[in-house]
Chain A
Amino acid sequence: MIEQLARLGRTGLLALERLGRGHLLLLAILKGMTEIVRRPFLLIAQMFSVGVLSILIVGISGLFVGMVLGLQGYYVLSQFGAEESLGVMVAASLVRELGPVVTALLFAGRAGSALTAEIGLMKATEQLSGLEMMAVDPVKRILAPRFFAGFLSMPLLAALFSALGILGGYLVSVGLLGVDEGAFWSQMQHKIDLHEDIYNGVIKSLVFGVVCTWIALFQGYDAVPTSEGVSRATTRTVVHSAFAVLGLDFVLTALMFGD
Chain B
Amino acid sequence: MCPECGELGDGLDGHYSDWRQSRLCSFWPGAPGWWRAWPLLRLEAGADGRYTMSDSQAEPLVKIRGLRFSRGEKRIFDGVDIDIQRHRVTAIMGPSGTGKTTLLKLIGGQLQPEAGTVIVDGKDIHALPLDALYKLRIRMGMMFQSGALLTDIDVFENVAYPLREHTSLSEEMIRKLVLLKLEAVGLRGARDLMPSELSGGMARRVALARAVALDPMMIMYDEPFTGQDPISMGVLVELIRELNDASRLTSIIVSHDVQETAEIADHIYVISQGKVIEHGTPEELMDSQSAWVKQFMHGLPDGPVRFHYPAPDLAQDFFRHSTGGRP
Contacts and interface: CB of A to CB of B under 8 A. Distances in A.
Interface stretch (B19-27, B266-274, B280-288, B301-309): B19-27
How many residues of A sit at the interface, in one of the four size bands?
A: 20 to 34
Contacts of A10: 1, 10-11
Interface string B221-263: 0000000000000000000000000000000000000000000
A7 interface: yes
Interface string A191-215: 0000000000000000000000000
Nearest to B16: A224
A132 B27 contact: no
Contact of B11 (A14, A132, A222, A232): A14
A129 B148 CA distance: 8
Contact of B144 (A130, A222, A229): A130
Contacts of A122: 151
A215 to B, nearest CB: 15
B134 A126 contact: no
Interface in B71-119: 105, 108, 110
B135 A126 contact: no
A7 B28 CA distance: 31
Interface string A9-29: 011011101100100110110
Contact of A14 (B1, B138, B141): B1
Contacts of B297: none
B292 interface: no
Interface of A: 7, 10-11, 13-15, 17-18, 21, 24-25, 27-28, 122, 125-127, 129-137, 222, 224, 229, 232
Given A11-B1, A17-B40, A129-B105, 18 more contacts: A14-B1, A21-B24, A28-B27, A125-B151, A126-B148, A127-B150, A129-B110, A132-B108, A133-B140, A134-B137, A135-B135, A135-B137, A135-B162, A136-B165, A137-B130, A137-B134, A224-B16, A229-B15
